Amino acid sequence: MPNPRTVIIGGGFAGLSCAKALGGAPTDVTLIDQRNYHLFQPLLYQAATALLSPSEIAWPIRTLLRRYKNIQTLLGTVVGVDRAARVVHLEGRQSVPFDYLVVATGARHAYFGHDDWEAFAPGLKNLDDATDIRRKILLAFEQAEFEPDPAKRAALLTFVIIGGGPTGVELAGMIAELTRRTLPGEFRAFSPQSARVILVEANARILTTFTEPLSDFAVRSLADMGVEVLAGKAVTHIDAKGVVVGDEPIEAATVLWAAGVQASPAALWLHAASDRAGRVIVGPDLSIEAGIWVIGDTAAAQSEGKPVPGLAPAAKQQGKYVAAEIRRRLRGDAKPSAPFRYRNQGNLATVSRKAAIAEFPHLRLKGWIAWWLWGIAHIFFLIGARNRLAVALNWLWAHATGGRGARLITRHDEHGRSDQDDLRPSHRRH
Ligand SMILES: Cc1cc2nc3c(=O)[nH]c(=O)nc-3n(C[C@H](O)[C@H](O)[C@H](O)COP(=O)(O)OP(=O)(O)OC[C@H]3O[C@@H](n4cnc5c(N)ncnc54)[C@H](O)[C@@H]3O)c2cc1C
């Protein structure tokens, strides 16, 4: 008899950990992803701000699963699932049948009903976003070197980040360091230190998933680097000129979105119940019916009565849990499933190259000690010795000199426009 077929959609933290835990199991596994790489999202902001190269934080999924002979990797975009016929539909390819299905398609940006803002305020979710943002930031400085009008130059040198969660804080801190440590001395028409970096948060404080003393520490550290934190203020409008915060317009050439996420459309494919963020509501064993599980950022899961957070460790734990469930079924074990339990491994965020905050169930840390802990944890979780070494060296280099190794303005668009096009007046925003 042929082995049962397991299909995993998504090679992110959840899907990859599930696939690896099924390596060698008596099931033919197919992992489908729309990208050919697994991305370490926690360091994406460093690729967006030219500290790391994209290739240092992403790996081909095919390579990561090479050693597991029972796993096939397919590059394809899932557009639907037929639960009754047990098949997954791909865009422009043949459908893939399954006996067990694991949906792990993550989340994307949400603009709270203002989808038109996306064109002016890109979000950070994948490598294309990171290289686009890097290009946008670096080009603003290049354009400012040409700009004779002081008001227009000031707008080019104003960076607004919307959303005071870890990603917004990390982006603001990194851009401030770029302006204060990396770029000084390289421009003649202006001083990079004159750039404004503004972090806007609608809640009364930033980093609401951390306790108040740690969030206050982050505000002080950001202020030390020259970041203006506007907490308790909502953005009401975004266009090519900049943003309106409350009723105050701020002219800014670079506006970045780190404010909201929406789950992938898995709930629509599966015709399953979802919460307000579009996440599929799953049972205590992370399934929606026998043999179909939804995990990671695309699931609204509970553990001991509390929502499971949208974090990488939670996604990995769910992937391993479901793999164990599938292995149990393959063994013919008919016992009811024990519910999924999330083990809190702590919450970390960096503010600058020497300050971070860390919160564990019985311990809180801030400052350089938290930064070292954050750094060691991230190096540890990166895949492969080469990348660990490259990232550690980049960090040490940046720490010692302020220099950044990936300050390249590149484009990946198919129209063949050159970087010069963005410097021509018709492409300028003002
Ligand atoms: C900028 C940023 C910073 C973060 N920082 C941290 C941090 O410091 N610490 C932390 O713990 N967490 C952090 N997170 C959250 C963490 O990355 C997520 O919780 C985690 O990635 C969720 O894993 P996942 O497998 O559910 O989704 P993902 O890792 O997003 O993977 C989803 C996969 O599904 C694929 N996919 C999506 N749709 C389709 C489709 N239709 N067809 C085929 N494939 C599809 C995608 O290509 C992707 O590979 C951060 C997230 C972001 C965006």
DSSP secondary structure, 375-398, as one string: HHHHHHHSSSHHHHHHHHHHHHHH
As its CATH architecture, domain 5-34+76-109+261-330 has: 3-Layer(bba) Sandwich (3.50)
pLDDT of residue 236: 95
The closest alpha carbon to 197, from 166, 167, 173, belongs to: 173
pLDDT of residue 428: 42
**Choices 3.50.50.100, 3.40.1170.60, 3.30.590.10, 3.30.499.10: CATH for 115-259+353-427:** 3.50.50.100
pLDDT of residue 424: 52
pLDDT of residue 244: 97
| Residue 73 in contact with ligand 1 by CB distance below 6 A | no
Give domain limits for the chain: 5-34+76-109+261-330, 115-259+353-427
Per DSSP, the three-state class of 28 is: strand
| Catalytically annotated residue among 91, 118, 142, 170 | 170
Query: Is 430's pLDDT higher than 60?
Result: no
| Residue 104 in contact with ligand 1 by CB distance below 6 A | yes
For residue 331, how far is its CA from the centre of ligand 1 (angstroms)?
A: 31
Question: pTM to 2 decimals?
Answer: 0.92
pLDDT of residue 423: 52
- Mutate which of 61, 105, 262, 383 to test ligand 1's pocket (most atoms within 8 Å of Cβ)? 105
For residue 13, how far is its CA from the centre of ligand 1 (angstroms)?
A: 7
Which is the closest atom of ligand 1 to the Cα of 264? 38
| Cross-strand partners of 156 | none
Q: 427 pLDDT band (50/70/90 cuts)?
A: very low
Question: Token digits for 162?
Answer: 């919307």
Mean pLDDT value across residues 179-203: 95
Q: Comparing 149 with 394, which gets the higher pLDDT? A: 149
CATH topology of 5-34+76-109+261-330 equal to that of 115-259+353-427?
Answer: yes
Range with the poorest average pLDDT among 97-111, 350-364, 371-385, 414-428: 414-428
Mean pLDDT value across residues 43-65: 92
Range with the poorest average pLDDT among 8-22, 233-247, 316-330, 359-373: 359-373
Q: What sign has the CA pseudo-torsion 379, 125, 174, 179?
A: positive
* Ligand 1 atom 6: residue of nearest CA: 42
Percentage of the chain exceeding pLDDT 70: 96
Which is the closest atom of ligand 1 to the Cα of 314? 19
Q: 330 pLDDT band (50/70/90 cuts)?
A: very high
| Residue 78 in contact with ligand 1 by CB distance below 6 A | yes
For residue 199, how far is its CA from the centre of ligand 1 (angstroms)?
A: 23
Whether residue 170 lies in the annotated active site: yes
Q: 378 pLDDT band (50/70/90 cuts)?
A: confident
pLDDT of residue 415: 47
